[in-house]
A and B are shown apart, each in its own frame.
Chain A
Amino acid sequence: MNYKLIQNIAISLLLARWRQTLVAAIGVTFSITMFITLLSFMSGLNDLLDGLILNRTPHVRLYKEIKASDFQPIDLHSKNSHAYNFIRSVKPKSEKLEIQNSAAIIKNLKSDPRVLGVAPKVTAQVFFNVGSIEMTGVINGVDPEAENKLFFFNDYVTAGNFMDLKNIPNSIILGKGAAEKMLAQIGDVVQVTSSKGDRIALKVVGFFQSGLQDVDNIQSYASISTTQKLLGESNNYLTDLQVKLNNILLAPEVAKEYQKIYEIEAVDIQTANSQFETGSSVRSLISYAVGITLLIVAGFGIYNILNMMIYEKMDSIAILKAVGFSGRDVNRIFILIALSIGVFGGFLGLLGGFGLSALIDQIPFNTNSLPTVKTYPINYNPRYYLIGSSFALITTYLAGYFPSRKASKIDPVIIIRGK
């Protein structure tokens, strides 16, 4: 109805005290800026730390474990009798680590709609022969293409080209730590002995650095066929199937299912790396808490300023009521004032938050353990902007609601008579 009039009055009241208004708006701007920057930065760091492990870890890993059978033949006998058997010192059966019928399993996995991709792997315990010294190590036989597609292999190959694993026969990408110990350069040939005693010469085509020193000292990569050859196994010998799912949250359920179907060990990422999830959720909880505290403090600032404004404008409110403005009109005027502070300050805060994040994104951040990271990580998730802006509106609305309710209840008689 007369919304425009209410708007005009609100604007006039705002502009009449523009310095106060500005202080309130800056309070909102500052808190939104800090909220967004803090969350973007924190979650950028979180993603980085999580990615360090989670990117490189399959959501579900299928493998065969050497273990003693859960079921002993004597159990068949003792099941129906009153006797009880004790068997001590049960030993695992001599079995290969090979996944049986791996080709069929891979085919099956790939047709599962929940599965993003499958990367097969062969792990081999080896010794590197450096002069007269033997160094232990692990060679992972991988399909470089699948490994890169699912686990960002290329990000961790700091020197050389990862596709050379496939293109150059008998090639190896050495872990950075291992390479340093062996003083190996790209193009050098290293001698590798398998656990069975077979010796093979591999050409170094690159270095690999994951950021986790323990991994870099031990792990090296070769192609699947090279590793199979090293182990003297046939070309369908695979020890691990690494499955990446479309939705990581399904991993525990899917792992259980696969374990049953394929009669094989399956471990999900949540079980394998539970500490990372806890860590990152606690970190984001802290940053949300700090951010929301900032916003609430800003809300109290607005509340104070509006409260003061209402005390100053008592007479004006009384006269507005005397000439026919209802309590609701007065209420709306002050809510509108609060919301305009919120919208204006909040909008600048969004811009400020984006700007500050972009600035942090430019600050160099070089660390040996993180070869792919050159600047501080920032997560530009639109969700933070959404939370920031809606929280700005909610806090300013509440900060305006109580003072304006008070204003709407002012009795004009008392003020006018009080003069």
Chain B
Amino acid sequence: MSQIILEARGISKSFHDPVSISVLKDISFILNRGEFVSVIGKSGCGKSTLLYILSTMDTDYEGDLLIDQVSMKNKSEGELAVVRNEKIGFVFQFHYLLNEFSVLENVMLPGQKLGKYSPKEIKDRAYEKLKILGIENEANKNPNQLSGGQKQRVAIARALINDPLIIMGDEPTGNLDKKNSEIVFDIFKELADVYGQSLLIVTHDNEFASKTQRIIEMQDGSIIRM
């Protein structure tokens, strides 16, 4: 009994400066709850652009995007921010932690923004997520005291804090060495298998992709395999 959590309906996007280039052409696909999907394709095929549209950060496109069966078209910037906060966890190629805050506070930030739980609960949940990722001992350190792999794991913990509908990753292992890449992949795998977390990961690492449940392959702005 699969349930649709994300649906792209004929999404197209083109850049007009300096000349019109069509980056995405009529992309349509469906993502079900609990799926671990990877998006692959050569550089410049539009996979990152697609991901930014799916994550609601980019609103300049044609077609329609439904998250949790709700259309994202015609939503205000503030409403989209709420959707991102509540339903989407994002992991970037670069970790993007805030150096002004400790590891724990970084993880807590989206939770505090959501404001669904009390401050104490948010703290407990942040610890819990850090424990899942095996870095609970680093909780009170500053992000710049951590290694690259650890930072990326903190970023994943931050993505998890609000129990999002889906986690999106933009080359989350792109900056990591082999060993850390594997650790991160194992974490994603565990999240999908044990916790039933839906994941949509953009990568150009075919080995990484081959281990996921489903691969969407893109070429020149179109999906050629899904």
Contacts and interface: CB of A to CB of B under 8 A. Distances in A.
Interface of A: 1-2, 5, 8-9, 12-13, 15-16, 315-316, 318-329, 411-413, 416-417, 419
Given A323-B85, A324-B85, A416 B96 contact: yes
A324 B170 CA distance: 17
Contact of A419 (B94, B99, B158): B94
A323 B158 contact: yes
A142 B121 CA distance: 84
Closest 3 CB pairs of A and B: A324-B85, A326-B81, A319-B96
Contacts of A319: 92, 96-98
A1 B116 CA distance: 11
Main secondary structure of the interface of A (DSSP, over half): helix
A318 B114 CA distance: 17
24 contacts: A2-B112, A2-B113, A5-B112, A9-B109, A12-B98, A16-B99, A315-B96, A319-B97, A321-B84, A322-B96, A323-B84, A323-B113, A324-B85, A324-B110, A326-B82, A327-B77, A327-B81, A329-B81, A411-B57, A412-B57, A416-B92, A416-B94, A416-B96, A416-B170
Given A318-B96, A416-B92, A416-B96, A327 B52 contact: no
Contacts of B78: 326-328
Given A322-B92, A329-B113, A413-B58, 12 more contacts: A12-B98, A315-B96, A316-B98, A319-B97, A320-B109, A322-B90, A323-B90, A325-B81, A326-B78, A326-B82, A412-B57, A413-B52
A315 B97 CA distance: 9
Interface of B: 48, 52, 55, 57-58, 77-78, 81-86, 90, 92-94, 96-101, 109-110, 112-115, 158, 170
A324 B113 contact: yes
A122 to B, nearest CB: 80
Nearest to B55: A322
B48 to A, nearest CB: 7
A5 B98 CA distance: 15
A1 B41 CA distance: 43
Given A16-B100, A316-B98, A327-B78, A417 B48 contact: yes
A419 B81 contact: no
Contacts of A325: 81, 85, 113
Contacts of A12: 98, 100-101
A131 B112 CA distance: 97
Given A1-B115, A2-B112, A5-B112, A324 B86 contact: yes
Contact of B100 (A316, A321, A326, A411): A316
Contacts of B57: 321-322, 411-413, 416
Contacts of B115: 1-2, 5
A417 to B, nearest CB: 7
Contacts of A411: 57
Contacts of A322: 55, 57, 84, 90, 92, 96
Nearest to B76: A326
B53 to A, nearest CB: 9
A366 B113 CA distance: 64
B133 to A, nearest CB: 17
Contacts of B114: 324
